[in-house]
Chain A
Amino acid sequence: MLQRLFGFKGGVKPQTHKAPSVQEPIAQAPLPARLYVPLHQSIGGAPTPRVEAGEDVLKGQLIGGADGWVSAAVHAPTSGRVVAIVDHVAAHPSGLPTLSVVIEPDGRDEWIARTPLDHRSLPPERVRELLRDAGVVGLGGAAFPSHAKLTAARSVPMEDLVINGAECEPYMTCDDMLMRERAEEIVRGIAIFRDLLGARRVLIGIEDNKPEAVAAMQAAVCGLAEDYEVVAVPTRYPAGGAKQLIRVLTGKEVPASKRSTELAVQCFNVATVYTAYRALAHGEPVVSRIVTLTGNVERPRNWEVRLGTPLGDLVALGRPKADTSRYLMGGPMMGFALPSLEAPVVKATNCIIAAAPTTFPASPPEMPCIRCGACAEVCPHELQPFELYWFARARNFGKTQEYYLFDCIECGCCSYVCPSHIPLVQYFRFAKSEIWAREREKNAADAAKARFELRNAREEREKAEKAERLARTAAARPAEKKPAPASAETVAGQPAAVPVDAAPAAPAVDAEAVKKATIVAAMERARAQREAAQPRNTEQLSREQQQEIAAIEARRARVAGDPPGTRTTRPGSAPPPAETGDS
């Protein structure tokens, strides 16, 4: 506890409203009638469905396989039958649909076979894979696949592992309750992350307004005889932002352009650590999470909810008061209003707040910026929100980037203090997504241009080849008109069986010779055509490739019955006219 603390600039102290939801312990939410499990619940690739409609699944069975490295698997939250795999409204500010697996529970809640594993007996690569296939993602709200954060930078030896239990967002208490009730499992889980990263020191940061959680964690650390430091950090929003907590505990500042591992530090949420422990030590993939249900409800508390539970079912457990007008997902500072309660609980759902016009009044109209600088004073990243606002509002996106728009963590401090009630964060989100969209468009345009140019080059080449072929055919044509002797010239360079055969016959039956010459010319044309159709792109082959081709050709020739080397033509091209000329 003799930890020297560093500060971070800015920040605000909103009322916490945390007390109502910590009165009762975490409760198991009942099984809903139907679960809608979205396949894409984490950042990165959208998992591919691994089940079909009509299939019976067990609790914990894989229903969506990770797609690529940065992606995390999705599992059935209970046993039952897959009714359909359809688009269902997502827990997202847009309310747009996303591909979801609809499961009708059979009520037995029967697990698949679970194999407990000890991470120390497995190679680190395997542990990361296991975490990915257990669907372990950042449960603080970002839902970034954890295994992808568990590789230390090659050149920098890992120093600090920061475990984030700060939970600075008002109303939210899910991490607090988790630490109070399941501290031992969290502390055991930290060892997995510490060993994978090779961190020298582990710092557990908890805001000092949660003394019970601090005590519980400390007891667990002592009980397991670990050398982790549990640090109570001053309560100030956003102390729970990964970058702020890293700064407070280690004094390191992570810029937007760098990964924190490059500064020898990495940060994980306590709930993430807990699920990682359950995944390895109990073989239980992530099928549920703890959600705070609070605000304008009769019974605020924390629920352990199966992923995919419709939010309407969850909200009903808290008995919302009559004047509840809307629901927020996430906290009041960084969250968003849910467009529909049909959306399901997902891995990123940490808190649902029932909002009434009295507790969450609609924001007053936006007034002009008076350049008071209050926003700049509270910005934890020392940005200048009023400048960013000015350029975002004018859609001058280049300028917003010059003012480090992408360093903004959308914490909402600036909007919170702005006396003109400007929804600054909304402008920043708008600017960011516009910039991303433009980037996508630019990349698509570049790719289209490259394909267009390749196509043009190919057409040019084909035209040239065709012209060449025509020229060659034209050269062969005269043979048709003239009697046999002429054809000897056109087939010079080939076994002269035809002329030998044709020449003596010429004086006797002229018509016969003309016919034969025509056949020879046609064969010559066909040969030229086939030659033109030989493999392309063979000009810039490497030595190995050429040798490989030579070896294959030799093998083919052997199979065809000729000893290699005697065949001058490639297999598949016209047989030597010497044979056919006679027939």
Chain B
Amino acid sequence: MITTLAIMALGAIVLGAALGYASIRFKVEGDPLVEKIEAILPQTQCGQCGYPGCKPYAAAISAGEADINLCPPGGMDGVRKLADLLGREVKPLEAEEKPKQVAIIDEQTCIGCTLCIQACPVDAIVGAAKQMHTVVEPLCTGCELCVKPCPVECIHMLPINENLDNWKWKYPVIEIRRAA
């Protein structure tokens, strides 16, 4: 009896020590759930969700403060993925889903005030004071944050059209309809 207890107690101590050690040694930095949520968000950093960037929104979702349907650039696809990850209900998007866009600066009108550079969260605009500014299109996430600050309203958002590089094979719809 005593030996059994002793063995059990010893086991408990050894395993407890191992677990304690592991929890310190293999401590997970940061919140893994926030990171997973953030990986789903489109990283547009536009603030349309009402939070100052994708990470804060991810933190708010993980804390249960925010709904999962607030990110318009992520679209319904994003909502579905978040619902999957968090085991929540899929909800329709709060705002309208827009096609992907890119900002274009009318270079004739630009007065070089640099306000748009300060607004762009991903440094997608180049230019210098009193010089013409331009958008580096591949880097632009289409967040529209640069549109409002421009004092001469020379920034426009253009939808990204389909081209040979981003063309996709379509879901074979016709056949299904015919079958139905």
Contact = CB atoms under 8 A, between A and B. Distances in A.
A451 B122 contact: yes
Contacts of A156: none
Interface stretch (B10-18, B107-115, B146-154, B163-171): B163-171
A68 interface: no
B121 A427 contact: no
A40 interface: yes
Interface in B111-129: 121-124
Given A94-B162, A430-B168, A430-B171, A366 B178 contact: yes
A94 B167 contact: yes
A92 B124 CA distance: 32
Interface in B7-65: 38, 41-45, 53-54
A-side interface mostly: helix
Most buried by B among A367, A422, A441, A449: A449
Contacts of B139: 447-448, 451
B162 A441 contact: no
Contacts of A446: 43
Chain A interface extent, by class = 35 or more
Contacts of A363: 175
Contacts of B178: 365-366
Which has the most chain A C-beta neighbours within 10 Å: B41, B124, B141? B141
Nearest to B73: A445
Contacts of B179: 365-368
3 A-B pairs closest in CB distance? A445-B43, A433-B168, A429-B169
A500 B179 CA distance: 100
With most chain A CB atoms within 10 A of its CB, the pick from B43, B45, B53, B178 is B43
Contact of A94 (B42, B141, B164): B164
A444 B123 CA distance: 14
Contact residues on B (Cβ < 8 Å of other chain), bracket: 20 to 34
Contact of B166 (A429, A437, A449): A437
B91 to A, nearest CB: 19
Contacts of B172: 366, 423, 426-427, 430
Given A432-B169, A448-B122, A452-B45, A96 B162 contact: yes
A449 B169 contact: no
B2 interface: no
Contacts of A432: 169
A42 to B, nearest CB: 13
**Could you tell me the dominant secondary structure of chain B's interface residues?**
loop
A448 B124 CA distance: 9
Interface string A52-63: 000000000000
Contacts of A367: 179
B122 A452 contact: yes
A220 interface: no
Given A429-B169, A451-B122, A366 B176 contact: yes
27 contacts: A90-B164, A96-B162, A96-B164, A96-B167, A98-B164, A366-B178, A366-B179, A423-B172, A423-B175, A426-B169, A427-B172, A430-B170, A430-B171, A430-B172, A433-B167, A433-B168, A436-B168, A440-B166, A446-B43, A448-B45, A448-B139, A449-B43, A451-B123, A451-B124, A451-B139, A452-B122, A455-B123
B164 A449 contact: no
Contacts of B169: 93, 426, 429-430, 432-433
Given A452-B45, A455-B122, A366 B164 contact: no
A454 interface: yes
B95 to A, nearest CB: 19
Contacts of A93: 169
